[in-house]
Structure 1
Amino acid sequence: MSVAVPSEEFHNGHKMPVIGLGTFMASSEVVGAAVDSALEAGYRHIDTAYVYRNEAAIGQALNKWLDSGRLKREELFVVTKLPGTGNRAESVEGYLKKSLEALQLSYVDLYLIHSAVGKIGKDDAPPSEQTLDMNTDHISLWKAMEAQVDAGRARSIGLSNFNARQIKRIVRAARIPPANLQVELHVYFQQRELVAFCKALDVTVCAYAPLGSPGFQERHTIRDRDREAALSPLTDPVVVEVARRHGRTPAQVLLRHVLQRGVVAIPKSTNPGRIRENFQVFDFELDDEDVEKLDALDRGSKARMFGGKMLKGNAIHPEFPFHDPY
Structure 2
Amino acid sequence: MPVIGMGTSSYPPADIETAKAAILEAMRAGYRHFDTAFAYGSEKPLGEAIAEALRVGLIQSRDELFITTKLWSSFADPAQIVPACRMSLQNLQLEYVDMYLIHQPVRLTEMISRTPVAAEIIRPLDVKGVWEGMEECKNLGLTKGIGVSNFSCKKMEEVLSIAKIPPAVNQVEMNPVWQQKQLREFCKSRGVHITAYSPLGANNTKWGDNRIVESDVLAEIAKAKGKTTAQVALRWAYEQGVSIVTKSFNKQRMRENLQIFDWALSTDDLEKIDQLLQRKGVTLASILGPHDLVLELDAEV
Report the TM-score when normalising by structure 2. 0.93
8 Å contact kept, 1:132–1:314: no
**Is this contact kept in 2: 1:146–1:176, CA < 8 A?**
yes
Change (3 A) 1:298 1:126: closer
What corresponds to 1:197 in structure 2?
Answer: 186
Match of residue 244, structure 1, among 213, 223, 238? 223
Could you tell me which residue of structure 1 aligns to residue 68 of structure 2?
Answer: 79
**Does structure 2 retain, via aligned residues, the 8 Å contact 1:242–1:290?**
yes
TM-superposed CA distance for 1:56, in Å, is 0.5
Number of aligned pairs?
Answer: 297
RMSD: 1.9
Equivalent residue, structure 2, for 1:226: none
- Aligned-pair CA distance for 1:143: 0.5
User: What is the CA–CA distance in structure 2 between the aligned matches of 1:259 and 1:114, rounded to whole Å?
Assistant: 23
Structure 2 residue aligned with 1:306: 282
Correspondence 1:148 to 2:148: no
Counterpart code for 1:20: G
Distance in 1 between residues matched to 2:282 and 2:274, nearest whole Å: 21
Mapped contact 2:44–2:91 kept (Cα < 8 A):
yes
Give the superposition deviation at 1:133: 4.1
Task: Check 1:320–1:182 CA distance in 2 against 1; reply closer, same or farther (3 A cut).
Answer: farther
Question: How far apart, in 1, do the equivalents of 2:277 and 2:46 lie?
Answer: 34
2:52 aligned partner: 64
2:26 pairs with 1:38? yes
> Does 309-318 or 58-67 show the bigger shift?
309-318
1:260-279 aligned within 5 A: 260-279=239-258
1:182 aligns with 2:167: no
Deviation sequence 1:211-253 (CA, Å, 0-9, x none): 011121xx46x9xxxxxxx552111111011101111100000
CA distance in 1, matches of 2:241, 2:70: 22
The CA deviation string for residues 294-314 of structure 1, in whole angstroms up to 9 with x for no partner, is 111141xxx212115413636
Following TM superposition, the consecutive aligned residue runs of length 4 or more in structure 1 with deviations greater than 4 angstroms are none
Q: Partner letter of residue 221 of structure 2?
A: V
Deviations 1:97-128 (A, max 9, x none): 11101111100000000010100112535443
Structure 1-normalised TM-score?
0.86
Is the CA contact 1:116–1:319 (under 8 Å) kept in the aligned structure 2? Answer: no
Correspondences of 1:121-140 after superposition (within 5 Å): 121-124=110-113, 126-128=115-117, 131-140=120-129
Change (3 A) 1:58 1:200: same
Separation of aligned partners in 2, 1:126 and 1:264: 29
Q: Is the 8 A contact 1:116 1:320 kept in 2?
A: no
Residue 254 of structure 1, CA deviation: 0.3
| Cα displacement (A) at 1:317 | 2.4
- In structure 2, the gaps of 5 or more residues are none
Distance 1:315 1:128 in 2: 9
For the 8 Å contact 2:172–2:196, the answer to whether it is kept is: yes
Q: Decide which of 13, 17, 24 is 2:9's aligned counterpart.
A: 24
One-letter code of the match for 1:292?
E
Note the 1:109-128 alignment, pairs <5 A.
109-124=98-113, 126-128=115-117
Contact 1:119/1:130, CA 8 A, preserved across alignment: no
Task: Give the distance between the partners of 1:135 and 1:250, measured in 2 at CA.
Answer: 39
Question: What amino acid maps onto 1:317 in structure 2?
Answer: L
Match for 2:274: what amino acid?
A: D
SS of residue matched to 1:118: strand
* Deviation string, structure 1 residues 134-169 (Cα, Å, up to 9, x no partner): 253111100000000000000000000111111111
* Aligned counterpart, 2:35: 47
Partner of 2:84: 95
